[in-house]
């Protein structure tokens, strides 16, 4: 029997699910995680305490700062792989204590501590923190832009719909309930539900005291200034983006570099430069001030895409990452030279060709002989057999209806412009030739500085 | 008793008035407490610090286009707010964490990329890095407002209805990415990757083909290149602009008396 009184089958060859019979939390779904050393499976996030208890009792392993570890399940998976082939001593610091796990006295029992003194551990912890930050930021981005939010206000009877930030602002401007700036918050739905829960149970938001009825609670919160979240209450930490930052500094110390101090420093730096009057309240920052401060501040080049737009083949469903792969695929799979077909055509004609071929493929028609087929496979077989791969004749695709893209977000249409000299189409608005002839004005030349003699 | 009653009444009156003052004080305190703690500053009272700002505040300049005509640099975002105000829509393109190695470890800050536009001829881009997301977004919006440029739209074929596409082929470049905007017939919509599509929609361009070269994976440079291309629409001299117009005087010259007379002329900077 372990400490919770549940049966622990240590030597059982089959892994067992350990259930915790408490109400499940709102957020994550349960995920099975197996122990680091043995094969017992625990269900996360409910079985977390059991897991840690089991680690301590059965394997004498303690994880340092386990509450600070982001994405605990992945952390444990990582170390599980490592410990399959290595012993605890290789990675953990060993401690000698004078008692057994269940409290009985003993001498020099070995205990293991897995902490971030070890560089691999620190690395994995940092990586996981960054990963969690990414996830949280994408959730935050969604909440920032999603307009389908609708909820009744906690105080009055108004139903606020639209952005979540309007709801938070309404709570602040009308009822002086400060949850924080909406851009700094994440998991807003959960936060509002939690606050609503507290108000319903007649518990004060700040000091967590219970009251008799709603009126006394409201009066208390108003008088004491408790209409806000207690900064010392760690259970609200997950709702503020600030807490997800990856910082290897002491956790409980507040950041000492206050914003106004850095602004002062910058103002002193730029006194010689042309600058506006440095005012604390107005946000009138001159461009030069920005450039001399952090280089990364106004740098646009570090925003990289997670996934690139892929190009779909004209005939089959193959996705290609870029134009070269696309061309090669067409050559290899469909023995079709895309470039030779597009040679000599201007941009608009190429657009029409692509849209035409896409339309034909969609309708399962052959591009060359216009025969209709039942499905894509038959069409491909026909094209292969008769080598009807191609783009069709000019009179087939040169119709104005093919100006409009057949598919939404067709990546192929955005890279067609390889030839910059397409001024040959007469149906387009006439544009001036790209080359400009600059004639130097003789009078202007006389004014050139070289002609002045400064003595 | 007759004396006692008015005394009591007087006392009650005194107490009532004290209570009333106390109540008002409490109310004021509550209001101040609520608004003072993290409340937004009142954006209505803007004190301009540049000459242009003063002219705009006093209504001497009718529209943003007058400022663009003389290529005057805009250094106060309230100027843009004054003219475009409610029509301006900002959109946060991305919030990403950036890290810097310091002696005490790593320091993470949030960088916000914001695009702003009124869907009818103006577009701006801004980026700001800060420890808090809200500060970064606010700063980026201000920088985006300062970078607002006008967008010229034209026709593809027939000149009926309102202009809907770019007037000619323009190209913008940033880093290794170069973006080309090509006029499209009405009803085409915007044919491009998601990032430039947002920018083009916010600029008020309804139909456009695009062609991008270079590493379009760097979305930052991609967005900037599109912005540069859109800004170039007014830089391109088309034949209908060949007509020579009489040289006008800049607003500074025009309103020089107004600018000189204003007390507190010590505050403003010669721009």
Q: How many residues does chain B have?
A: 271
List, as ranges, residues 405-444 from A with C-beta within 8 Å of B: 405, 409-411, 413-417, 427-429, 431-432
Q: Which residue of B lies nearest to A279 if distances are taken between CA atoms?
A: B49
pLDDT digits (tens, 9 = 90+) for A372-427: 888 888 888 888 887 777 777 888 888 888 899 988 888 888 888 765 544 444 44
Per-residue pLDDT at B267 = 56
Q: Are A171 and A153 in contact (CB under 8 A)?
A: yes
Contacts of A428 in chain B (CB under 8 A): 156-157, 183
More confident residue, B22 or A214: A214
pLDDT digits (tens, 9 = 90+) for A290-334: 444 456 677 888 888 877 778 888 888 888 888 888 888 888 888
Q: Under an 8 A CB cutoff, do B131 and A302 touch?
A: no
Q: Touching check for A74 and chain B: CB below 8 Å?
A: no
Domain residue ranges of chain B, discontinuous segments joined by + = 49-148, 168-237
Domain residue ranges of chain A, discontinuous segments joined by + = 31-118, 146-247, 311-416
Two tokens, residue B98: 């950036």
Q: Give φ, ψ of B269 to 5 degrees.
A: -105, 140
Neighbours of B209 (CB within 10 A): 27
Closest CA to B64 of B120, B142, B126: B120
Quick check: helix, strand or coil at residue A49? helix
Confidence at A33, pLDDT banded by 50, 70, 90: confident
User: Distance from B9 to chain A by nearest Cα, in Å?
Assistant: 30
Q: Give φ, ψ of A424 to 5 degrees.
A: -90, -10
Q: Please, how many CA atoms are within 13 Å of residue B61, restricted to the half-sphere of its CB?
A: 26
Rounded Cα gap, residues B133 and A239, in angstroms: 13
Closest CA to A415 of B177, B139, B212: B212
Helix axes A119-145, A164-175, angle to 10 degrees: 80
Average pLDDT of B22-32?
40
Quick check: helix, strand or coil at residue A255? coil
CATH assignment, B49-148: 3.30.160.20
Q: Are A30 and A46 in contact (CB under 8 A)?
A: yes
Per-residue pLDDT at B54 = 93
Q: Give φ, ψ of B75 to 5 degrees.
A: -110, -5
pTM exceeds 0.90: no
pLDDT digits (tens, 9 = 90+) for A44-74: 777 788 888 888 888 888 888 888 888 888 8
Confidence at A434, pLDDT banded by 50, 70, 90: low
ipTM reported for the complex surpasses 0.90? no
Q: Under an 8 A CB cutoff, do B237 and A432 touch?
A: yes
Rounded Cα gap, residues B41 and A454, in angstroms: 55
Q: Do domains B49-148 and B168-237 have the same CATH topology?
A: no
Question: What are the helix (H) ranges across A274-406?
Answer: 287-292, 323-334, 338-342, 347-362, 376-386, 394-397
Contacts of B169 in chain A (CB under 8 A): 431
Q: Are B268 and B54 in contact (CB under 8 A)?
A: yes
Count A/B contacts: CB-CB distance under 8 Å: 194
pLDDT at residue A17 greater than cutoff 50: no
Which residue(s) pair with B269 in the sheet?
B50
Confidence at B21, pLDDT banded by 50, 70, 90: very low
List, as ranges, residues 298-337 from A with C-beta within 8 Å of B: 298-305, 308-309
CATH class of the domain defined by B168-237: alpha beta
Neighbours of A341 (CB within 10 A): 17
CB contact set of B51 (below 8 Å; sequence gap of 6+): B252, B259, B268, B269, B270, B271
Q: Are strands B105-117 and B122-130 parallel, antiparallel or unpaired?
A: antiparallel
């Amino acid at each position: 029997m372990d400490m919770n009184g549940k049966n622990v089958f240590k030597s059982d060859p089959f892994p067992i699910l350990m259930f915790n019979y408490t109400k499940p939390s709102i957020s994550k779904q349960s995920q099975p995680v197996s122990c680091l050393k043995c094969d017992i499976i625990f269900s996360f996030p409910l079985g977390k305490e059991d897991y840690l208890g089991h680690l301590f009792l059965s394997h004498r392993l303690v994880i340092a700062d386990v509450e600070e570890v982001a994405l605990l399940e992945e952390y444990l998976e990582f170390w599980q792989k490592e410990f399959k082939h290595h012993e605890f001593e290789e990675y953990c610091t060993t401690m000698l204590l004078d008692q057994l796990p269940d409290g009985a006295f003993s001498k020099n029992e070995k205990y293991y501590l897995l902490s971030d003194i070890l560089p691999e551990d620190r690395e994995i912890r940092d990586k996981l923190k960054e990963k969690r930050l990414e996830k949280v930021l994408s959730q935050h981005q969604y909440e920032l832009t999603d307009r389908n939010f609708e909820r009744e206000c906690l105080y009055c009877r108004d139903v606020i719909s639209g952005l979540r930030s309007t709801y938070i602002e309404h709570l602040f401007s009308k009822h002086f309930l400060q949850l924080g700036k909406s851009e700094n918050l994440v998991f807003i739905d959960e936060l509002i539900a939690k606050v609503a829960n507290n108000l319903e149970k007649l518990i004060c938001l700040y000091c967590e005291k219970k009251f008799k009825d709603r009126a006394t609670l409201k009066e208390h919160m108003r008088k004491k200034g408790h209409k806000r979240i207690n900064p010392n209450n760690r259970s609200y930490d997950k709702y503020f983006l600030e807490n997800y930052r990856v910082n290897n500094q002491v956790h409980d110390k507040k950041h000492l570099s206050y914003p106004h101090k850095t602004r002062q420093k910058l103002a002193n730096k730029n006194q010689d430069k042309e600058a506006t009057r440095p005012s604390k309240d107005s946000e009138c920052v001159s461009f030069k001030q920005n450039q001399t401060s952090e280089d990364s501040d106004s740098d646009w080049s570090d925003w990289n895409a997670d996934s690139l737009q892929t190009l779909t083949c004209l005939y089959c469903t193959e996705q290609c990452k870029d134009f070269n792969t696309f061309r090669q695929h067409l050559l290899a799979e469909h023995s079709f030279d895309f470039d030779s077909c597009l040679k000599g055509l201007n941009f608009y004609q190429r657009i029409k060709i692509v849209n035409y071929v896409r339309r034909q493929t969609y309708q399962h028609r052959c591009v060359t002989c216009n025969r209709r087929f039942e499905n894509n496979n038959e069409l491909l077989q026909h094209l292969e057999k008769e080598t009807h791969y191609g783009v069709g004749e000019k009179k087939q695709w040169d119709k104005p209806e093919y100006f409009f893209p057949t598919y939404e977000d067709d990546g192929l249409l955005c890279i067609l412009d390889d030839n910059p000299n397409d001024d040959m189409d007469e149906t387009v608005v006439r544009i001036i030739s790209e080359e400009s002839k600059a004639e130097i004005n003789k009078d202007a030349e006389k004014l050139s500085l070289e002609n002045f003699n400064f003595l | 008793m007759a004396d006692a009653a008015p005394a009591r009444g007087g006392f009650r009156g005194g107490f009532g008035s004290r209570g009333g003052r106390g109540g008002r004080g409490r109310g004021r305190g509550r209001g101040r407490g609520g608004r003072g703690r993290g409340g937004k500053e009142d954006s209505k009272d803007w004190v301009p610090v540049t000459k242009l700002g003063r002219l705009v505040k006093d209504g001497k300049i009718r529209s943003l286009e007058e400022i663009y005509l003389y290529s005057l640099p805009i250094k106060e975002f309230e100027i843009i707010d004054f003219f475009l105000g409610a029509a301006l829509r900002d959109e946060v393109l991305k919030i990403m964490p950036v890290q810097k190695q310091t002696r005490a470890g790593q320091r993470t800050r949030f960088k916000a990329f914001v695009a702003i536009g009124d869907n009818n001829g103006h577009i701006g881009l801004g980026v700001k890095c800060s420890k808090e997301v809200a500060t970064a977004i606010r700063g980026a919006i201000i920088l985006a407002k300062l970078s607002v440029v006008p967008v010229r739209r034209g026709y593809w074929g027939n000149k009926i209805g309102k202009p809907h596409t770019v007037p000619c082929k323009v190209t913008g470049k940033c880093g290794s990415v170069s973006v080309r905007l090509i006029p499209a017939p009405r009803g085409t919509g915007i044919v491009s990757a998601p990032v430039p599509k947002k920018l083009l929609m916010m600029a008020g361009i309804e139909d456009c083909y695009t062609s991008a070269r270079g590493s379009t994976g760097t979305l930052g440079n991609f967005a900037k290149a599109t912005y540069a291309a859109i800004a170039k629409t007014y830089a391109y001299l088309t034949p209908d602009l060949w007509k020579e117009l009489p040289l006008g005087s800049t607003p500074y010259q025009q309103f020089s008396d107004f600018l000189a007379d204003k007390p507190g002329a010590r505050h403003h900077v010669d721009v």
